[in-house]
Structure 1
């Protein structure tokens, strides 16, 4: 059982009063014990704790749970060093995962699907690719294994009302940075940013966290999600095929100085979106995106 500070204070008073009536000579010793107890409590509260992440040094995090979402995608839950730690990753930033594979140090960047203020853990959604070194490493992890991670990293650091409207185009696990930004916007009543999200996948079963996206769209009128499938089921009413110019014109904000369009997905998709958006009058996508850019690729 854990006592609150007021409860501990009450117990301390009782101990001192009781000591006085039982043996006045014992009061100094009881007082010393009480003082030591309070010193430990205050030290614990004020001690500077090392943040879970370091931007330069890789640190180890233990896998504590794994949930398979589809034949090639899974959610990996990692414990933070202390059960009351939070990752505290800035919105729009990511972490770097490093592994030694065949004698070479290889790193890849991922954005957690968990919120940055979730306590005691973080979650990564990883899609395994046949030729993917890091993603293959993830698929072979078992509970108790560790990964090497550092961060935060990235050029995009979201703040409320950064622009009037944000358009998002993502494919597969490219959802993850978008989800962090969407959550930050809808849970902040002061943030009036409008968000339209085109989310492309192969099949309906590949749509990651669809239930959460649908619920957010239903509860928050400022956010809308538009699904696109390469192989849709019978009766599908969403988009079909690859994301194209017509879809962008229909769902994305018109080119303007107070909008942004965010891109995240497989390289061929990003290449295609970069060309289409430029053809539609948006700014050219820079090789390395910066926060002020109209079109930002993660």
Structure 2
């Protein structure tokens, strides 16, 4: 286990997974679901087609001679083999899946993948599946692997399936599914509000900006969790902030420890005003977290998963729908 973590810490991009649009039984209380703590670990729709081979499946090589191979396919379910796994908290697990190291993963910034698992046959003998979206935060240029961190819920059909996977087992994946189409310097200042695993798409964008010397975007992140120990990726985020003056991060927790020096409580209007860029045509605010938090900050997406009406603290602070994107 220790060796596995040392390797992950040294690897440039590790990944976290987030299931955008997932629902909990409560409203604002859903914001209080604990997330496993991770030190320096950097890891969504459906179709009926899948491969049944137990071996790792790649795309057809029809265009191999004219363009690089791509591991992902938005139209086909492909199998990715579990290379390693590790429990990082009582209910969170890290999964590393492998693919052909001569291929590129094919992930866009910012986008998610879709996973599916068999549930069994229905009365007519047709196989039924559970399908869930997750957001990898592995660097799209990573060779031969992508990582996911999954919070395992006792009643979660997909997360329980993932929790039972062993090295050598495969996961069916399709994608990528584009969310926000990020381009360098698209805005002068991007503000981010994340809760728990909602850090996933934020880290995709943060790393894309920071590794591009020609991208001058200013980044501000408000990151909320239950306790200091629940802050995912804190060491990695702190290292990025320390080495890049265009990234500013503010943490807040519901249950601070005695030596905690960050914010306390839910994200407030005052935190938004002080920690994020003000309303402007050159500003974009990104929001990602549990439904309760989304309702509090920006309003959740519409039932058809479109952006929906802007409400909550961001509307109170003067932002418009054009200035806000909900993951």
Question: Mind listing any 5+ residue stretches in structure 1 that lack a counterpart?
Answer: 1-43, 285-292
Deviation at 1:150, TM superposition (A): 0.6
Q: Please report the RMSD computed on the Cα atoms of aligned residues, expressed in angstroms.
A: 1.9
CA distance in 2: counterparts of 1:49 and 1:247, whole angstroms = 45
Number of equivalences:
247
Residues 266 and 280 (structure 1), Cα distance of their counterparts in 2 relative to 1, 3 Å cut: same
Deviation at 1:45, TM superposition (A): 7.9
> What residue is the counterpart of 1:90 in the other structure?
108
Give the ranges of 4+ consecutive aligned residues of structure 1 lying more than 6 Å apart after TM superposition: none
What does the per-residue CA deviation read over 1:64-100, in whole Å, with 9 as the maximum and x for residues that have no partner?
11122221222210011x1222213111111111122
What does the per-residue CA deviation read over 1:35-63, in whole Å, with 9 as the maximum and x for residues that have no partner?
xxxxxxxxx98365652111121111111
> What residue is the counterpart of 2:313 in the other structure?
276
> What residue is the counterpart of 1:26 in the other structure?
none
CA distance in 2: counterparts of 1:250 and 1:194, whole angstroms = 15
- Contact kept? 1:76, 1:125, Cα under 8 Å: yes
CA distance in 2: counterparts of 1:214 and 1:264, whole angstroms = 20
> What residue is the counterpart of 1:46 in the other structure?
65
Deviation at 1:123, TM superposition (A): 0.6
1:126 aligns to what SS in structure 2?
strand
Question: Mind listing any 5+ residue stretches in structure 2 that lack a counterpart?
Answer: 1-62, 122-127, 299-311
Residues 245 and 76 (structure 1), Cα distance of their counterparts in 2 relative to 1, 3 Å cut: same
> What TM-score results when the alignment is normalised by the length of structure 1?
0.78
Structure with the greater alpha carbon radius of gyration: 1
- Contact kept? 1:228, 1:239, Cα under 8 Å: yes
Residues 64 and 190 (structure 1), Cα distance of their counterparts in 2 relative to 1, 3 Å cut: same
Residue 188 of structure 2 is aligned to residue 151 of structure 1: no
Deviation at 1:273, TM superposition (A): 0.7
Greater relative contact order (Cα < 8 A, sep 6+): 2
- Contact kept? 2:192, 2:220, Cα under 8 Å: yes
Greater percentage in helix: 1
Deviation at 1:105, TM superposition (A): 2.0
After the TM superposition, which residues 171-250 of structure 1 pair with which residues of structure 2 at under 5 Å, given as runs?
171-250=195-274
Deviation at 1:201, TM superposition (A): 1.1
Residue 295 of structure 2 is aligned to residue 295 of structure 1: no
> What residue is the counterpart of 1:101 in the other structure?
119
Of 68, 72, 88, 1:69 maps to 88
Residues 48 and 220 (structure 1), Cα distance of their counterparts in 2 relative to 1, 3 Å cut: closer
CA distance in 2: counterparts of 1:161 and 1:49, whole angstroms = 27
- Contact kept? 1:175, 1:264, Cα under 8 Å: yes
After the TM superposition, which residues 156-175 of structure 1 pair with which residues of structure 2 at under 5 Å, given as runs?
156-175=180-199
